């Protein structure tokens, strides 16, 4: 993806942080997922008093996209105050739809501090191809 598109996606992720519901950790996360269709789906973390029921920003964005018919993704930007990386659960969840996904890590100032791919973040992943087809 172009530097220009990366910049736009990073801005969307940074803006999405504002909606984070994080009364327990106070760690706001924003995500912006670019689909092959050209549409961008935003997400933020949504915490819960029953802590494990919390949903991460990346999975919120992915679920919004898939529930609207998207399955092909180009890139995801993830914004936090300190350039935090996607958790293991989110890596696995996103890998379902392909590990060629570009991953942009964005800091609290909106700077892209890392550009990588899901394949690099989750090597030798388990995926749909490992399950036998009926
Ligand atoms: N969080 C995310 O939204 N994405 C990640 O990949 C890592 C963690 C959220 C979950 C929780 O609301 C807060 O960050 C602290 O773990």
How far is 115 from 13, CA to CA, in rounded Å?
14
Atom of ligand 1 nearest to the CA of 54: 12
Best residue among 20, 29, 55 to mutate for probing ligand 1, ranked by most atoms within 8 Å of CB: 29
Cα–Cα distances in Å, from 129 out to 11, 21, 125, 126, 133? Answer: 34, 35, 10, 8, 9
Q: Is 92 in the pocket of ligand 1 (CB under 6 A)?
A: no
Under 8 Å between Cβ of 112 and 106 = yes
Q: In the chain, what are the domain boundaries? A: 6-121
Which pLDDT score is estimated for 1? 86
Please give the average pLDDT of every successive group of 10 residues along the chain, which has 134 residues: 94 98 98 98 98 98 98 98 98 98 97 98 96 86
Atom of ligand 1 nearest to the CA of 85: 6
HSE at residue 12, side-chain half, CA atoms within 13 A, is 22
Residues 6+ apart with CB under 8 A from 89: 56, 59
How far is 55 from 70, CA to CA, in rounded Å?
20
Q: Is 56 in the pocket of ligand 1 (CB under 6 A)?
A: yes
CATH fold of the domain at 6-121: Cytidine Deaminase; domain 2 (3.40.140)
Which pLDDT score is estimated for 119? 98
HSE at residue 4, side-chain half, CA atoms within 13 A, is 0
């Amino acid at each position: 993806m172009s530097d220009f598109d990366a910049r736009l996606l990073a801005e969307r992720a940074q803006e999405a942080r504002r909606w984070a519901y994080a009364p327990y950790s106070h760690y706001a996360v924003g995500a912006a997922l670019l689909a092959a269709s050209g549409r961008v789906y935003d997400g933020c973390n949504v915490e819960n008093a029953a802590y494990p029921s919390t949903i991460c920003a990346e999975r919120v964005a992915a679920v919004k996209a898939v529930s609207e018919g998207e399955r092909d993704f180009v890139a995801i930007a993830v914004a936090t105050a300190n350039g935090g990386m996607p958790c293991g659960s989110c890596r696995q969840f996103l890998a379902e739809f392909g590990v060629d996904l570009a991953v942009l890590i964005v800091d609290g100032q909106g700077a892209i501090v890392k550009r990588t791919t899901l394949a690099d973040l989750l090597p030798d992943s388990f995926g749909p191809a490992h399950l036998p087809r009926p």
